[in-house]
Each structure stands twice: as C-alpha cells, then as structure tokens.
Structure 1
Amino acid sequence: MDTAHDSTRTQLLQAAFAEIHRHGFQAAGLSEILRDTDLTKGALYHHFPSKHALGLAVIDEVIQGRLAEAIFRPLEEAEDPYPALLALLDQRIHGMDDEAVKWGCPLNNLIQEMSAVDADFRDHLSAILTRWQGVVQAALARAQAQGRVRADLDCEAASLFLVAAWEGCWGIAKNRQSAAVFRQCLRELRDYVRGLA
C-alpha cells in the first residue's frame, strides 16, 4: 500500500471512530464522516464496501489498537505485572475528566448497542474482551508465579471480574456524567487488586 492510500484509510477510520463514539454505530452518518474528512463517497467505498465493514474495521483497528497501546502491551511487556496493573488503574484514576467520561467507553458503547442486533459486531467485540481478559489473566498468573499475588487466586475468575468491573465503571460514570464517579469506582477496583497480594 502507498502512503496516500494508508492516509486516506486512516482518516476515514479516525473520523468514523469519532462519529460512532458520539452517536453510536446505527445513528452514525456516512455523510458526516465524509464531511469531516473532505473525502468522497468513492474514497470511502474504495476502502470499505459498506458502513458495516467500516464499523468492524473501527472495532478491530481503532478500538482494539487504543486498548492495545493503553492496556494490553503495558501488561504484556511488564517484567513485574502486579505493580503494572496497579499503575494502569492509577493512571485512569488521575487522568480522567468529565469530558472523557461524557461519551463513555467506545468498546462498552458498542457492546451495549450492537451485541444483541448484529452477530459480526458481537464476535468482533467479544474478541477484544477475550483478549483483554486473557492479557489480565496472564499478568495475574505471572504475578502469582513471582509470589506477588496469592497462590490460591483463580486468575481466570479474577481477570473476568476486573474487565467486567472496569467496563461497569465506565457505564455508570457515563450515565452519571461524572469523572468523580469513575475515579471512585476505579479506586475500589484498585483496592480489590491490592487485596490480591
């Protein structure tokens, strides 16, 4: 692929991500995405044969990419994953503001909107959740092997709870439109992780 091709595709993905994040997939307008990018319908359909394909690419490339950068890779690459997990929670506790909470978690939003109505979306979203849980489970298992968390910890169950609670914090904070609620919820989650030692 050439650079112009990559740039156009990236522009479309980023604009689609922003539109979907603010309005949901079903209400997202292709005309708004094109307006925001100054691109033509031909450019859009050259890269994505349908709105559905564009939505799946946003999940696979943008949302998963953001999570990989912010959460997955830091945990996978950490020599000492237990403090790395605590550090990730601390970063979110101290780095969240009301504007970030306003639109909610892009992953959570799409899970709520699309899981019951589109099997492809459900499968792609589930793949991210499965990866996230797997990354956390592997980090906890490594921490367990290092003697950093309890030997009797069920790492699979704990990782499921951590991912579900994290996303639950997003949901209630979005509903309340409050970063303070998000921070309070994540502080409790951090205390849970501290209790695993």
Structure 2
Amino acid sequence: MKSARPYTMRARAASAESTRSRVLEAAVQQLKGRLRSDIRLNDVASQADVTVQTVLRLFGSKAELFRRALDAVLQEMRDDLDQAEPGNVTDAVRTWFDHYEQFGDVVIANLADEHDPAVAPVVRIGRERHRERVETVLEPQLRRFAAGERERVVNALVCMSDVYTWKLLRRDMQRPRHEAEATLEMMINSVLGDS
C-alpha cells in the first residue's frame, strides 16, 4: 500500500498542474478577446471546465489570475512582434498588422477605458513596448539621424505605426489589409527618407 501513495501524490500533483494550466490558458484566451473589466471568473471557470472555487484555490484571487494571464499575453505579443528582421520595413509592418488584426479591437477598447486603474498599467506597458519595438526594428535606419532629429523621427514612426492608424485604415476606411500595409509602409519610408 505504501508504494501506491507516492504514485497517487504524483498523479494528483500532475492533475492539479494540468488544471492550473487549463485555467490560466482560459484566462489568456479571455484577455485576448475581451476587456478585463468584462471578464468574470465564471467565464474563465466555465471555459476551463472547473468551478470558480477551483480558480480561486489555484490562484488566490481574480487579480492574481489576471496578472499571470496578462504576463503570458504580453510575452506572446512580444514573441510575435520579434519576428520582424531589424531594418526590414515590410516585415515590421506585417508583424504590426498581424498583431493588430488579432488584438487591435481589444487594444482600442482598452485605450478608451484607460482611466480605469486596472487598465491604466496595461495601456502604459503597451505604449512603452510599442515605442521600444519601433526603435528596435527600425534601428538600422535610425542610426543616420542626429539625436534631436532622431527623437522627432521616432515620435513620427510611433504615431504612424500605432493601433489608431491601423484602425483608421482597416476599420474606418475599410481598406483591404494589403493596401493598408502598403500605405503604412509608404508613410514609414517617407519619414525615413527611403521612398
């Protein structure tokens, strides 16, 4: 009987970890498609096929669950955006549009709700990472600008490649993706002097 106990404990631990992963993945999927303020623990529990009590037992609180889920979403976004080869404007535009096509509508909704203390840090992180991304992916072109001019060029590039530009082209003007990407690429190359 004693030999069965360690096996049972390992099986329970594996089952608990599997459940924890399922709950976290459900929270990640919810965050990708909806505003955090619109997501209830019942939504996550139902998607993970567990009870709300199980979610709370595993993560302690809704805030902790969503903190971990947000970390996972942000890492996934960073990995996706890192696919662009530095200096390749076409790649940069493609990865931004890949990202915006998947998350743009939720990002726009979050921006509209950024006064909410739970949303404000997410928006701040998004803005910081977007600027970092612009500077990283376009670094080869940015090297030729003097410090003061470089700052103005980066500001222009951050504005041009922002989610609001995607929204204007894709949602408001209803341009096909390939045309919207070509427009953004033209704008970026114009500012960089590569047109």
Does TM, normalized by the shorter one, top 0.5?
Answer: yes
Contact 1:60 1:124 in 2 (8 A): no
Is residue 2:189 matched to residue 1:194? yes
The structure with the larger Rg is 2
Q: Identify if the C-alpha distance between structure 1 residues 47 and 143 changes in structure 2 by more than 3 Å, giving closer, same or farther.
A: farther
Provide the C-alpha distance between the structure 2 equivalents of 1:13 and 1:42, rounded to a whole number of angstroms.
14
Shift of 1:174: 7.2
1:26 maps to which of 22, 31, 37: 37
1:162 maps to which of 149, 157, 165: 157
Calculate percent identity across the aligned residue pairs: 15
User: TM-score if structure 1 supplies the norm length?
Assistant: 0.68
Gaps of 5+ in 2: 1-12
**Could you say which residue in structure 2 is the equivalent of 1:66?**
76
Provide the C-alpha distance between the structure 2 equivalents of 1:91 and 1:58, rounded to a whole number of angstroms.
22
**Could you say which residue in structure 1 is the equivalent of 2:54?**
43
1:151 maps to which of 138, 145, 149: 145
User: TM-score if structure 2 supplies the norm length?
Assistant: 0.68
1:90-131 Cα offsets, whole Å, 9 max, x none, are 4566x69xxx56x74443432332x2011x531243123212
Q: CA RMSD in A?
A: 3.5
Task: Provide the aligned length of Structure 1 versus Structure 2.
Answer: 178
Gaps of 5+ in 1: none
Is residue 2:81 matched to residue 1:86? no
Select between 2-11 and 29-38 the one with higher mean Cα deviation.
Answer: 2-11
Contact 1:12 1:44 in 2 (8 A): yes
Shift of 1:132: 2.5
Provide the C-alpha distance between the structure 1 equivalents of 2:41 and 2:111, rounded to a whole number of angstroms.
21
